[in-house]
Amino acid sequence: MSVNWQEVIKEVLNSSSPKDVLVEHDEFEVALTAFISANEADDIRFMTFVLIAPATDVAVATSIGGDFVIPFTGVIVQDDANPDQISAYNTVAGVTGTMVVDVHKNGTTIMSTNKLDIETAEKNSSTAATQPDLSDTVITKGDILTFDVDAIHTTPAKGLKVTLAFRKT
């Protein structure tokens, strides 16, 4: 099945009301959710990428789910007071060690030193002791986002979702 990611993402991000879209493929699925934040002036849209199926062990890998072409210009929103704006989630927590997820734009990480960490026995990165630091938040129409798993727990977690918050400019 061929998916036109630009059209799917454009439809979700151009929505003026809450909208959910689930795109399924033989190897992965992407759940895209867009809504206007509580403060309408912020106009923040969230996209959740379901990169690894819920019952599947997470493994170290690059470009999970393929390339996601961005069909708009804007910024990726990050605020340490709201760690869910950029976060990673597992269905089943891993044990021992820390899982590290990285987001790349056009082949280069957007996180300077701290990436998305899911600590032992945790199911999401929003509770991590160290939140991610974004070194590049500007996105331009045509940019390509990819997702990497740089490290896993000794007993791997299952399933992987990554949520990013965007503000169109």
* pLDDT tens digits for range 128-165: 999 999 999 999 999 999 999 999 999 999 999 999 99
| pLDDT digits 0-9 by tens, 16-74 | 555 555 555 444 455 554 444 445 556 788 888 888 989 999 999 998 877 888 888 99
pLDDT score for 25: 47
Q: Compute the average pLDDT of residues 69-94.
A: 89
The domain limits of the chain are: 5-168
123: confidence class by pLDDT, cuts 50, 70, 90: very high
pTM for the model: 0.81
Q: Which fold has domain 5-168?
A: Jelly Rolls (2.60.120)
pLDDT score for 35: 47
**Rounded CA gap, 39 and 160, in Å?**
29
Tokens encoding 70: 């961005």
**Rounded CA gap, 123 and 169, in Å?**
32
